[in-house]
Amino acid sequence: MIMTLEEPRVKVQREPRRQLPHHSGWMTVDDGVTRRQCIVLDVSPGGAKIVADIAIEVRDHFGLALAQDHSMHRQCEVVWRRGRTYGVKFVQ
């Protein structure tokens, strides 16, 4: 028995994303003890997609700085993982 769905697909409204080709970022893990460089692939007001170029233990929460001086960082929560690529949302 084949079932078909005749309802139109609902388009999911997403936040505008800014592509950042190979923009460096810095992850702060272990409660601020360890800082590691990463690549920020894109960023939006609510989150980002990053790639960790080294094998580290990325927990569910960490800090992310988009500037090398680390003066301003955002707290992040991992929402998905694919290998060393992570989708994160910014949390308060």
Q: Are 37 and 31 in contact (CB under 8 A)?
A: no
88 CB burial (10 A radius; 0-12, 13-18, 19+): buried
Could you give the domains of the chain? 18-91 (2.40.10.430)
Q: Are 41 and 66 in contact (CB under 8 A)?
A: no
- Long-range pairs for 75-82: beta carbons < 8 A, 24 or more residues apart: 76/47, 76/48, 79/47
Higher pLDDT among residues 58 and 66, named by residue: 66
pLDDT tens figures, 6-65: 666 665 555 555 555 678 899 887 777 788 889 999 998 899 999 987 666 677 888 999
Q: What is the mean predicted confidence (pLDDT) over 56-76?
A: 80
Q: What pTM did the predictor assign?
A: 0.69
- pLDDT for position 87: 94
